[in-house]
C-alpha cells in the first residue's frame, strides 16, 4: 500500500521493538534513520496536539485559587482541611517546616499576628504555637467538579447548549433533505437547464459567506430572521459540497432500480425516499458529519445575526464570557470543556469514518 522499501521495516506486528531497533542499523533493507525520525516526529506532534486539550481539561478541575498558582501544578490540588473533635467546622491543615514540631501536620484554629495556634488532629487537646513563616499549607488532590455545576446552574448554559443542538440537528436534517433532492434531480432526470443548474450550484463555491455578510444580513432582517435560530439555519442549508458529493454518489445507483419501481406505479417522491435515500446512506453519512461539524462550530454568521444573549449558541456564549469572565477562568474553562465534549465524543466513535470521508471528499 505504502512505501515499498519501508514496508520491510515493520514486517509483522508481533515483531519486538528490540528486533526493529537492531534492524535499524542494517542499511536499506532494515529500518533506516527516516523511520526513527518519523516516529520521533509523530510522537512529538501527537503530544503537541493532545497536551493543550488535556491541559485545558485538567485546569478546568481546579479551583480559582488553584488556577492562580504560579508556576501551576499539573493536577488539581486544594488546601486540605480537617475536622477537630469538640470544635465546630473544618480547619486548614499545615505542615510545620521548622522547630520542635517539624514534619507534623497540624490544623490552624486561630491566628494572632504572625503566630498561629495549631492543633494536632490526633491529639486535639494541646494547642501548639507556630510562627506562620515556619509552615506551609497541606495540599490534597481534589477535582473541583463544582466548576461544572456552577456553569450549568449559574449561566444559561443549558439554553445555549439547546440552541446549538437545535441549530445543528435541524440544519443537518434540512441540509440532507434539500441537497439529496437536488442531487436526485441532477443525477436521475434529464431536464432542460440541468447543466446550467449544476453549474450555478457549483459556482457558489466561489462565494464564501464571509464576502456577502452585509447583504445576507439585510435579507435575514427582511425575512424576520435576525435574532432567530432560523436565521442561522437557513442560509447554510444549501451547500455546493453536499449537492456535488451526493450527485456523484447517486450517479452510481443503476436507473433500472427506479424503472422497476415505476412499473409498480410508485410515485417519483416514493422512489426518492424509499430507494434513492437509503441507497445513498454512505454519502449522506459523510455529508451529515460535515454538517454537524460546520454547524456546531459556526461562529462569524451567528455572531452577526444573533445579538440577544438568549439566542446565543455555545460558541457565541463562550466568546462573550471570555470577555466578561476574565477573572473567573475556572468557569470559563469548564464551559470550554463542555463545548468541545460533544464533538470529541462523536470523533471517538466515528473517527475512522470521519477521516476517510474527509480524505475522499477533499472538503471541509
For residues 304 and 217, is the Cβ–Cβ distance under 8 A? yes
Strand partners, 110: 117
Is residue 106 near another protein by the rule CB under 8 A?
A: no
User: Per rule CB under 8 A, is residue 343 in the interface with another protein?
Assistant: yes
- State which of residues 218, 251, 260, 349 lies at the interface with another protein (CB under 8 A): 218
Q: Does residue 18 interact with another protein by CB under 8 A?
A: no
Nine-digit cell string for 108: 490552624
- Non-local CB neighbours of 329 within 8 Å, separated by 6+ positions: 59, 64, 67
Distance of closest approach, residue 81 Cβ to another protein, in angstroms: 25
User: How many Å apart are CA 261 and CA 234, to the nearest integer?
Assistant: 33
Q: Which residues 158-177 are close enough to bind another protein by CB under 8 A?
A: 177
CB-CB contact of 239 with 295 (8 Å)? no
Task: Check binding of 352 to another protein (CB under 8 A).
Answer: yes
Q: Could you tell me the smallest distance in angstroms from the CB atom of residue 141 to another protein?
A: 18
Cα separation of 128 and 21, whole Å?
A: 61
297 makes contact with another protein (CB under 8 A): yes
Selected range binding another protein among 46-54, 116-124, 128-136, 279-287, rule: CB under 8 A: 46-54
Is 293 a binding residue for another protein by CB under 8 A? The answer is yes
- Could you tell me if 165 and 158 are in contact, meaning their C-beta atoms sit under 8 angstroms apart? no
Give the one residue of 117, 216, 228, 328 binding another protein; rule: CB under 8 A. 216
Q: Judged by CB under 8 A, which of 22, 102, 205, 257 binds another protein?
A: 205
For another protein, give the closer residue by CB, 35 or 134: 35
Which parts of 112-131 interact with another protein (CB under 8 A)? none
Question: Of 116 and 302, which CB lies nearer to another protein in the complex structure?
Answer: 302
Give the Cα separation of 280 and 283 in Å (integer).
6
Cell of 340: 468541545
Looking at the Cβ atoms of 89 and 191, the one nearer to another protein is 191
Site residues for another protein, 22-41, by CB under 8 A, read 32, 34-35, 37-39, 41
Q: Does 208 bind another protein (CB under 8 A)?
A: yes
Site for another protein in 305-324 (CB under 8 A): 315, 318-319, 322
* Binding status of residue 282 toward another protein by CB under 8 A: no
By the 8 A CB rule, do 242 and 179 touch? yes
- The single residue among 98, 300, 310, 353 that binds another protein, judged by CB under 8 A, is 300
Residue with cell 444580513: 217
The verdict on 182 binding another protein (CB under 8 A) reads: yes
Question: Rounded to an integer, what distance in angstroms lies between the CA atom of residue 130 and that of residue 117?
Answer: 7
Our CA angle for 292, 294, 298, nearest 5°, is 120
Pairing of strands 90-96, 123-131: unpaired
**308 vs 352, which CB is nearer to another protein?**
352
CB nearer to another protein: give 138 or 346: 346
Q: Which residues ranging from 129 to 158 are in contact with another protein (CB under 8 A)?
A: none
Tell me which of 147, 163, 311, 336 binds another protein, using CB under 8 A.
Answer: 336
Find the DSSP H helices in the chain.
4-7, 17-23, 33-59, 64-68, 146-154, 157-188, 194-203, 213-222, 229-233, 240-251, 255-263, 268-270, 277-279, 281-297, 300-305, 314-324, 329-361
Residues 48-87 that bind another protein (CB under 8 A): 48-50, 52-53, 55-56, 59, 67-68, 70-72
Amino acid at each position: 500500500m505504502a512505501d515499498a522499501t519501508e514496508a520491510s521495516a515493520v514486517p509483522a506486528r508481533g515483531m519486538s521493538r528490540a528486533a526493529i531497533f537492531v534492524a535499524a542499523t542494517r542499511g536499506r533493507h532494515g529500518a533506516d534513520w527516516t523511520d526513527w525520525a518519523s516516529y520521533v516526529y509523530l510522537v512529538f506532534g501527537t503530544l503537541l496536539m493532545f497536551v493543550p486539550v488535556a491541559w485545558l481539561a485538567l485546569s478546568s478541575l481546579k479551583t480559582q485559587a488553584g488556577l492562580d498558582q504560579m508556576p501551576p501544578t499539573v493536577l488539581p490540588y486544594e488546601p486540605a482541611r480537617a475536622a477537630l473533635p469538640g470544635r465546630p467546622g473544618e480547619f486548614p491543615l499545615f505542615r510545620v517546616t521548622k522547630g520542635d514540631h517539624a514534619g507534623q501536620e497540624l490544623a490552624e484554629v486561630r491566628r494572632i499576628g504572625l503566630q498561629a495556634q495549631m492543633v494536632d488532629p490526633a491529639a486535639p487537646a494541646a494547642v501548639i504555637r507556630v510562627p506562620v513563616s515556619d509552615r506551609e499549607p497541606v495540599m490534597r488532590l481534589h477535582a473541583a467538579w463544582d466548576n461544572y455545576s456552577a456553569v450549568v446552574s449559574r449561566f444559561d448554559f443549558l439554553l445555549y447548549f439547546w440552541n446549538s443542538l437545535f441549530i445543528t440537528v435541524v440544519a443537518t436534517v434540512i441540509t440532507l433533505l434539500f441537497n439529496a433532492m437536488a442531487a436526485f434531480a441532477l443525477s436521475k432526470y434529464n431536464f432542460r437547464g440541468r447543466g446550467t443548474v449544476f453549474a450555478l450550484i457549483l459556482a457558489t463555491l466561489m462565494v464564501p459567506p464571509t464576502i456577502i455578510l452585509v447583504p445576507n444580513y439585510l435579507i435575514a432582517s427582511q425575512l424576520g430572521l435576525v435574532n432567530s435560530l432560523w436565521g442561522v439555519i437557513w442560509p447554510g442549508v444549501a451547500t455546493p459540497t453536499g449537492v456535488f458529493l451526493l450527485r456523484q454518489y447517486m450517479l452510481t445507483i443503476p436507473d433500472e432500480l427506479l424503472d422497476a419501481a415505476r412499473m409498480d406505479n410508485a410515485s417519483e417522491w416514493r422512489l426518492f425516499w424509499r430507494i434513492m435515500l437509503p441507497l445513498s446512506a454512505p454519502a449522506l453519512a459523510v455529508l451529515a458529519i460535515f454538517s454537524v461539524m460546520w454547524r456546531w462550530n459556526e461562529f462569524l454568521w451567528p455572531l452577526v445575526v444573533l445579538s440577544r444573549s438568549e439566542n446565543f449558541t455555545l460558541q457565541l456564549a463562550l466568546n462573550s464570557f471570555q470577555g466578561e469572565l476574565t477573572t473567573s477562568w475556572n468557569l470559563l474553562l469548564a464551559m470550554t470543556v463542555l463545548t468541545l465534549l460533544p464533538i470529541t465524543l462523536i470523533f471517538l466513535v466515528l473517527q475512522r469514518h470521519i477521516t476517510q470521508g474527509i480524505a475522499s471528499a477533499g472538503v471541509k
